[in-house]
Structure 1
């Protein structure tokens, strides 16, 4: 469906922006692009949509897309290349937006081929290959985390003997905490690696890393025309029984101004050393007890899930508006974000495999009790008779979003709602 474009008052003419696939959390970017007056094209990937149980036809954001092209699998770079070249021939592309990990590099490669500004392809590839990313940053003097790509238990055990337990085992390339483990001893290491060949996430290699301790935060930073835009530092929570599993986020983080600046300076140095060139980036960092930032992971894309919405709820504004403008290579004038509230999300899934409940319980009590503090509470069970144990972000079936002027209260309400929802469900959940 086509919606009439608006004319901008800032001197920028309407342009053609192409989104390559989508997920529910970043669908508001279509609206942002249309509100800015642009022609919006979407290249869908049915395989990705089906894996996330999302339906474009029923999305309220479908009305903001002018033209839709459908691919079975947009990660097939040859199929994607043919489609983008055809789109570009029909109406020249001015900018691309890709917010899904698996598509940033293919889009970057094709954007360079047709001369459209985008994140640097070689830098994005290096960022996604975690061991390569650490090697580049080590050469720049920014990362000293010991790591190794291993083929099996003997090599991993030798690494752990040098660094000491615990160690982190994760796919050399991946996202969403899938396949990641904090391993406490040789027995657990042997069990994790024995299961690795059956885990598709490890097809690009097994990475073993030194364990980092401290406060887990992430920096969200933009980069346009060589200028960094400091957007947010958020704090992350993890499940104590499987530390690699994230259970939630609060924006902004409860850290001091000095710590905030230290995290942002480090994130800027990381992105600069990698040469990512253009975009909004999600940099996961461990802020040590000594105040020193250490890299956990660099993602060459905007923060995922509902986090852009948390950014807005906390008073940061529309980050999708900014995302579209950056990828259309505009010059952005923007100071550091000044938040007015704390927005918290908590995700939860089943601790152990359990029978799938017949229906979702009535959740109206939460809105009645918490009122405007509660922004959203959703429970969606996966298909099938059994809910599998949650060990990665894709295993969550529940989410609660809370916004409050007080940080501790925002977190407490979110955690109380998760606890009470679990009691209603009669099952133990990750939290």
Structure 2
């Protein structure tokens, strides 16, 4: 498939942007690149699309993309390298965009090989290896969170005896809260370690950390030509019965201007200490009782799920356009984002294993009652006779997006809709 863009007066010549992703939800980023006048190539990863029930073909992406290459597994470095080199030989690549954790490092490696600016490969790998990231930040004086990589229950119990409970157990490398647990005592710790051999998320090691108390937020920042872009601070919610499971986000966060600046300064220091060099980054942290942020994790890619859309709904503008411009290493003149609304998402899944309902109940009541404040409400059950308990982001089957000028009202509407939907379903959900 091909499409031709004719530059308007004053435009620069089109550049070549290569997206490597399995997310059909990135179609707005493809559209932004085309709108900016660029040639767009997409490299897909069929195995991950299938494993996550992603139907790329029904998405509107095709009209924004000039060339498509479908790999069986884009995380296969050699297969991705062959594809990228062929693409680069046919039309030199000016910038890469990778929006999925598992693809950032292989794309970074290949970008360095062919001399295209991108996120530093070693820094991206260190960011995803959580213990290594903490070690680097500790050496820079930015992180004091006690942590250890352990091989089994006895080592973990010894660590917890030194720090006290609760502790956090999670994969040393991973994302989406998969395999993460907040553990409140020795009995729970033993149960978690009894299950780790069956959990593929722990292949890169088991990390145990001290538990951080405070307000859970994330900073979204860009970095191009050595200049930081302060995009957003969002507040996060978790399920009180499994704290490692995120249940939603509100953009912007309900924090003071002073707290906002402190969070952004900390995020910039973290990204700088790792040496990530170029990109849009998602930095999760806890604001402690002393007002100081402490790192939860650093993701060397743009915020995921529907959060870019929340950014737009809240009045922040088109973050996908910024993403493209950052990865083309453009000089971007932009001050801190000035939001006009509060956009909230709440995700939900089954609290316990339950039989899969025969159908999704009617949801029109929500639009009728909440009107323009309700942006989206979706319920999509997984295949199979049973719905498994939700213990990670991939286990959610429902999502509600709300936008309102008042932060408290935005959050209340979203939570009310989740509660009432659960009542209609006749099941307990994570919320």
Which bracket does the TM-score occupy, shorter chain normalised? Answer: over 0.9
With 8-17 and 410-419 compared, the bigger mean Cα shift is at 8-17
Superposed, which structure 2 residues align to 1:64-79 within 5 Å? 64-79=64-79
Q: Tell me by how many angstroms 1:22 deviates.
A: 3.2
Counterpart for residue 418 of structure 1: 418
Aligned equivalents of 1:10, 1:326: Cα separation in 2: 20
Task: Work out whether residues 6 and 36 of structure 1, in 8 Å CA contact, stay in contact via their aligned partners in 2.
Answer: no
For residue 169 of structure 1, give the secondary structure of its aligned residue in structure 2: strand
Q: Check conservation: 1:166, 1:184, Cα contact below 8 A.
A: yes
Q: 1:22 to 1:61 in 2, by over 3 A?
A: same
1:267 aligned residue: 267
1:393 deviates by 0.1
Shift of 1:9: 5.9
Which residue does the alignment assign to 2:119? 119
2: CA distance, partners of 1:382 / 1:233: 32
Mark the CA change 1:156 to 1:49 in structure 2 (over 3 Å): closer, same or farther: same
Partner of 2:331 in structure 1? 331
* Structure 1 unpaired stretches of 5+: none
Q: Which residue of 2 aligns with 1:132?
A: 132
The aligned residue for residue 235 of structure 2 is 235
Indicate the SS of the match to 2:230: strand
**Aligned CA-pair RMSD:** 0.9
Give CA deviations for 1:127-170 in whole Å, capped at 9, x if unaligned. Answer: 00000000000000000000000000110001001100000000
Check the 8 A contact 2:316/2:337 in 1, yes or no.
Answer: yes
SS at match of 1:61: helix
Structure 1 residue 50: deviation in Å?
Answer: 1.0
Q: Given the alignment of the two structures, is residue 26 of structure 1 paired with residue 30 of structure 2, yes or no?
A: no
| Paired residues for 1:40-59 under 5 Å | 40-59=40-59
Measured after TM superposition, the shift of residue 8 of structure 1 is 5.7
CA distance in 2, matches of 1:181, 1:6: 53
Unaligned runs of 5+ in 2: none
Give yes or no for contact 2:97–2:324 (8 Å, CA) kept in 1: yes
Q: For the structure 1 residues 14 and 386, does the alpha-carbon distance in structure 2 shift closer, same or farther, using more than 3 Å as the test?
A: same
Residue 52 (structure 1) shift: 2.0
Contact 1:171 1:207 in 2 (8 A): yes
Task: Indicate if the aligned counterparts of 2:248 and 2:347 stay in contact, CA closer than 8 A.
Answer: yes
Q: Separation in 1 of the partners of 2:310 and 2:275? A: 28
Secondary structure of residue in 2 paired with 1:338? coil
From the superposition, tell whether residues 353 and 10 of structure 1 become closer, same or farther in structure 2 (CA, over 3 Å): farther
SS at match of 1:248: strand
TM-score normalized with structure 2 length:
0.99
Q: Secondary structure at the match of 1:305?
A: coil
Match in the other structure for 1:90: 90
Find the residue that maps to 1:204 and give its secondary structure. Answer: coil
Instruction: Quote the residue 1:346 is aligned against.
Output: 346
How far residue 55 of structure 1 moved from its aligned partner, in angstroms, is: 1.6
> Which residue does 1:150 correspond to in 2?
150
Question: In the alignment, what sits opposite 1:214?
Answer: 214
Q: Report SS of the residue matched to 2:141.
A: coil
Summarize deviations over 1:337-393 as a string: whole Å, max 9, x none: 000000000000000011111111110110111110000000010011110000000
- Between the aligned partners of 2:143 and 2:220, the Cα distance in structure 1 is 19
Over residues 215-241 of structure 1, what are the superposed CA-to-partner deviations in whole Å (9 max), with x where a residue is unaligned? 000000000100000000000000000
Distance 2:422 2:350 in 1: 9
Aligned residues of 1:6 and 1:35 also touching (Cα < 8 A): no
Q: Distance in 2 between matches of 1:110 and 1:159?
A: 39
- 1:360-371 aligned at under 5 Å gives the runs 360-371=360-371
Structure 2 Cα separation of the partners of residues 107 and 231 of structure 1: 24
**TM score, norm. by length of structure 1:** 0.99
Rounded to whole Å, the distance in 2 between the matches of 1:22 and 1:154 is 39
What CA distance in whole angstroms lies between the structure 2 residues aligned with 1:46 and 1:68?
12
Deviation, 1:24, is 3.2
The answer as to whether partners of 2:20 and 2:103 remain within 8 angstroms in 1 is yes
Shift of 1:329: 1.2
